[in-house]
A and B are shown apart, each in its own frame.
Chain A
Amino acid sequence: MRNKISFTRRLVQIISFILLVYGGYIFKTRLHTETGKPLFPALEAPEGYMSTTQFKKGSILWPSGTNPVLENYPPSLVCRFNPKGGLFKACIFHFISENLTWQTPVKYLLPHLTLFILLCFLFGRMWCGWVCPIGSIGDFITSIRKKMNIPARRFPDGFKSGLRFSSYGIMGIGFFISGLIGVPNFARFQCYWFLPYCQICPARLICPLFGLIKPGWKDFETAVTSMFTILAWLVMGIFLAAFYFGRRIWCHLCPVGLINSFFNKGAGIELKKKAVWCNKCGLCADACPMGLKEMYEKDSDGIYNQNGCIMCLRCVEICPKDGCLSASFFGKKITESKLK
């Protein structure tokens, strides 16, 4: 097989996409609380606090439908993996924002956070490259561009670090607002500012479509919702353009990826380089969908899990020198570069 890693990645992406978007139909009986006690204590909004189920149809945060399957499971919102249940939510950003507002005691969050951190320590930012549903859609858009014979737009390093900086900003503002509206004095703003980033996140607009549900895409009831609606359109436009022209340039801006990327260095999955075998052809840097160059630039042996790396292993696949780059999992080699 010519592109073994790419092929596997596509396969994993498709399976994950189906599981995340349609998983509710498959795991309905197993995860649903009606079978008995939930595995973990349910995270619920305290009395008088906002939760997504309180939004009415057509508003931005309406969780898409009343059908219990659709409500509980991914088709409603991919990021709201079983919102009432005890398991974890796929999107850490949503999870943290929501619970900051609800001021949930940390002990209830522990199982979720432990699972999240454990997964992050194992796989780093692999989520972005292999599982993330909007990343998969983006990769699909990219493949259309390739078919259309349009070359990828490449961005200077400064632009990328600017995006990363903005990502910190989005994360900071998102968490700050979420925390602020959790304070009783500001609780009256909750109906507008609840889950601020989620309101503009492109996943909220895209993923429900695959469950054949119309997302709340035009909510002009108040000035704040109008602002979020327009912002969401804008971000959606940027999202589509970014994936069409710039490969994974969007992922530099994504705050979810940012949180994952904190765990990249020291993650179980490691990208190794044997520097003496490198012929400095630059293919690893050129093929990197995130446009990272560290793998090319480094001149000594070592593990190079860069912050932006989405662990797609494209560099390992494309490296023409046998054994120069390799990926290993806790020291055990999974794959290494080969000519064919």
Chain B
Amino acid sequence: MKKGNGFISEEYLDAMKYLWGKNKDISFDYKKYTEKYRNLSGLKGMEFFYDVIAERKLKTDKPVIGYFCNSVPEEIIMAAGAVPLRLCNQDIHCAEAGEEIIPGDICPVIKAICSGLQNDIKPDILVIPATCDGKVKLAEILSSAFDNIYFIDIPRNSDYTENIDLWEATYLKFYEYLKEKFKVKISRKELLNACKITNERTSIFRKIYKLRAEKTGIINAFDYFTITSASFLIPASDWTKHTEILYNQLLNREIKTNYRKNLLLAGSPIIFPNFKLLEITEEAGCYIAADILCSSYGHLFDPVKIDEETEKGIIRTLTLKYIAPSICPCFLGIDKLINAVIENVEKYGLDGVIYYNLRLCNVFELEIPVIRSVLKDKGIPFLALKTDFSREDTGQLKTRIEAFMEMLE
């Protein structure tokens, strides 16, 4: 069977026009929405980041490559002269509009992505990695709306010894695809430059991460997750520049805090505007001192450390940044998440762990029993919360967090 665009045969491609229902207007004034967070933060350096996430527009004359998840190598995209744009979307309005296309009990992120892409930014190429089932099917659904979709197939076992050669081949294929698509010659120098840019981003992120964990109340959860959400939308060098300014402001900041407990947040990603859980935790007086989420820690924490500065060597090393240490529950290898949780709790003396499980995401939910059991053995208090973008269950969540906080005291 000949495939029209690599996903759906030509025969059915035309018929897929019925898939896209009527285009719902989902524009929402985020400028106003961010106002309350701005007032809470009171940091000058944060203005820029709030503007970025409120506008949700990427200003660039370079080609834009949109991608999902944390398994797409940004460095290769940057070396090819394009701008990577992470399109993971947690907007409740998008998710509601997405129900026109994807009905039923499907992860709200997938729904939000579907309708968000219709209205939002149009990337030149869309890169979809085979992380969760939703993303795989998303490639088929979106193939009727996008001409250029690249699918990165990743084996499920994230063990280095098992699959490193497969990962390398996968990334090399992507590298060749981009070279052909943009008709550019990418030299080692460009790859190294791109790695340098992301490494700078990593190093400033680690500084902020450490500062936040060590000084209770130095930065509130809204500010922190705004910064990490902004890293999806702006080029890495811009992000580094503005975060450095912010970091210097934080160093001189006077802290007056009424936080009761320092907690670690793990689990599903938290991306603006899905700050419901953060609002509850802040209100309950619990300080998110560290987090192991793929939207912040997973996206920014790991550097590219190049062993061999050959073209293939660099690309091989990239897989060791994106896939091998991945904390995504889609992969086999829960040790990494457990290691990271225990490391952070021990290193920074945190009081407990909150596991945020986005409703209808099976893989995150399946991790809970293992983590709960291990943390119980280690004597670390653990609370798993299941919720989605809607605000219906706010009261219930609040009660559970309050109860957890009281248990800690």
Q: Which of B161, B307, B310, B343 is A287 in contact with, Cβ under 8 Å?
A: B307
Instruction: Report Cα–Cα, A299/B161, bound state, in Å.
Output: 14
Beta-carbon nearest neighbor of A278 in chain B? B339
What is the interface residue range for chain A against chain B? 20 to 34
Q: How far is the CB of B106 from chain A (nearest CB, A)?
A: 31
Chain A nearest CB, measured from B51 CB (Å): 30
How many angstroms from the CA of A275 to the CA of B342 in the assembled complex? 11
Q: Closest chain B residue to A318 by CB distance?
A: B305
Q: Who on chain B is nearest to A279 by CB?
A: B325
- With a CB–CB cut-off of 8 A, which chain B residues contact A275? 339
| A146-B309, A151-B312, A293-B160 given; 14 more Cβ-contact pairs under 8 Å | A146-B313, A149-B188, A151-B313, A152-B308, A279-B336, A280-B333, A281-B160, A281-B302, A282-B161, A286-B160, A287-B305, A287-B307, A299-B335, A318-B307
Q: Of the listed stretches B281-289, B315-323, B395-403, name the one at the interface; the rest are far from the partner chain.
A: B315-323
Contact of B161 among A150, A151, A285 (CB under 8 A): A285
Q: How many residues of B contact A (CB 8 A)?
A: 33
In the complex, the number of residue pairs spanning A and B with C-beta atoms less than 8 Å apart equals: 83
B269 within 8 A of A: no
Instruction: Confirm or deny: A212 has a beta carbon within 8 angstroms of a beta carbon on chain B.
Output: no
Q: Do A146 and B308 contact each other (CB < 8 Å), given the known contacts A279-B336, A279-B339? A: yes
Q: Is the CB of B310 within 8 A of A286?
A: no
Contact with B along A256-276 (1 / 0, CB 8 A): 000000000000000000011
**Complex contact B161–A339 (CB within 8 A):** no
Q: Would A283 and B308 be within 8 Å (CB), given that A297-B161, A339-B202 are in contact? A: no
A340 at the interface (CB under 8 A from B): yes
Q: Are A276 and B343 also in contact (CB < 8 A) when A281-B325, A285-B160, A286-B164 are?
A: yes
Sampled A-B contacts (23; CB under 8 Å): A146-B308, A149-B311, A151-B313, A151-B316, A152-B310, A152-B313, A276-B343, A277-B343, A279-B336, A280-B158, A280-B159, A280-B160, A280-B335, A281-B160, A281-B321, A282-B161, A283-B317, A286-B164, A286-B316, A286-B317, A293-B160, A296-B160, A339-B206
Instruction: Say whether B329 faces chain A, with CB atoms less than 8 Å apart.
Output: no
CB distance from A152 to the nearest CB of B (A): 6
Q: Point out the residue from B188, B310, B324, B343 that lies within 8 Å of A281, measured CB to CB.
A: B324
Within 8 A of B (CB), among A134-153: 145-146, 149-152
**Residue A111 is within 8 A (CB to CB) of chain B in the complex:** no
Q: How far is the CB of A305 from chain B (nearest CB, A)?
A: 20
Q: Is the CB of A151 within 8 A of B310?
A: yes
| Contact residues in A for B343 (Cβ distance below 8 Å) | 276-277
Q: Considering residues B160, B202, B206, B336, which has the most beta carbons from chain A within 10 angstroms of its beta carbon? A: B160
* Of A282, A287, A293, A314, the contact of B324 (CB 8 Å cutoff): A282
How near does chain A come to B300, taking the closest CB pair, in angstroms?
Answer: 12
| Residues of A with C-beta under 8 A to B310 | 145-146, 149-152
B residues near A299, Cβ cutoff 8 Å = 335
Question: Which of B188, B313, B320, B342 is A276 in contact with, Cβ under 8 Å?
Answer: B342
Residue of B nearest to A299 (CB): B335
Query: Which residue in chain A gives the minimum CB-CB distance to B322?
Result: A281
Query: Interface SS of chain B: helix, strand, loop or mixed?
Result: helix
- Indicate if A23 sits at the interface (CB-CB under 8 A): no
Query: 1/0 per residue A69-82: CB within 8 Å of B?
Result: 00000000000000
Q: Which residues in B have their C-beta under 8 angstroms from that of A65?
A: none
Query: In the complex the two chains form, is B305's CB within 8 Å of A320's CB?
Result: yes
B202 to chain A, nearest CB (A): 7
Q: Which residue of B lies closest to A337 (CB)?
A: B305
Chain B residues proximal to chain A, CB less than 8 Å: 158-161, 164, 188, 202-203, 206, 302-303, 305, 307-313, 316-317, 320-321, 324-325, 333, 335-336, 339-340, 342-343, 346
Q: Give chain B residues whose Cβ lies under 8 Å from the Cβ of A319.
A: 305
A150 to chain B: which residues have CB within 8 Å? Answer: 310
Q: With a CB–CB cut-off of 8 A, which chain A residues contact B303?
A: 320, 339
Q: How far is the CB of B259 from chain A (nearest CB, A)?
A: 26
With both chains docked as a complex, state the minimum distance between the C-beta of A151 and any C-beta of chain B, in angstroms. 4
Task: Decide: B346 and A293 in contact? CB cutoff 8 A.
Answer: no
- Among all A-B residue pairs, the 3 with the closest Cβ atoms: A282-B160, A151-B312, A287-B307
Cα–Cα, bound, A315→B221 (Å): 35
Which residues 311-340 in A have Cβ within 8 Å of B in the complex?
Answer: 314, 318-320, 339-340
Q: Are B305 and A279 in contact (CB under 8 A)?
A: no
* A44 CB, min distance to chain B CBs, angstroms: 48
**Of the residues B161, B206, B317, B339, contact of A296 by C-beta under 8 Å:** B161
A114-156 to B contact mask, C-beta < 8 Å, 1/0: 0000000000000000000000000000000110011110000
**Does A286 contact B320, Cβ atoms closer than 8 Å?**
yes
B346 and A276 contact, CB distance less than 8 A:
yes
Contacts of A149 in B (CB 8 A): 188, 310-311
User: Among A151, A277, A282, which residue has the most Cβ atoms of chain B within 10 A?
Assistant: A282
User: What A residues does B325 contact at CB under 8 A?
Assistant: 279-281
Contact of A339 among B164, B203, B317, B342 (CB under 8 A): B203
Give the docked Cα–Cα distance between A280 and B162 (Å): 13
B74 shortest CB reach to chain A, Å: 16
User: Nearest-CB distance from A335 to chain B (Å)?
Assistant: 15
The answer for the CA separation of A280 and B313 in the assembled complex, in Å, is 19
Q: What is the CA–CA distance of A314 and B307 in the complex, to the nearest angstrom? A: 9
Give bound CA distance, A297 to B335, whole Å. Answer: 12
Find chain A residues with CB under 8 A from B159 CB: 280
Give every chain A residue within 8 A of B335 (Cβ-Cβ): 280, 299
Contacts of A318 in B (CB 8 A): 305, 307
Distance, CA A339 to CA B160, complexed state (A) = 20
Closest residue to B316 on the A side, CB-wise? A286
List, in ascending order, chain B residues with CB within 8 A of A287's CB. Answer: 305, 307
Q: Which of A151, A276, A281, A293 has the most CB of B within 10 A?
A: A281
Chain A positions within 8 Å of B312 at CB level: 151
The answer for the CA separation of A319 and B321 in the assembled complex, in Å, is 11
| Most A CB within 10 A of own CB, among B202, B313, B316 | B313
A280 in contact with B339 given A146-B308, A318-B305, A318-B307 (CB within 8 Å): yes
Tell which of A285, A286, A340 has the most Cβ of chain B within 10 Å.
A286
Complex: A296 Cα to B164 Cα, angstroms: 13
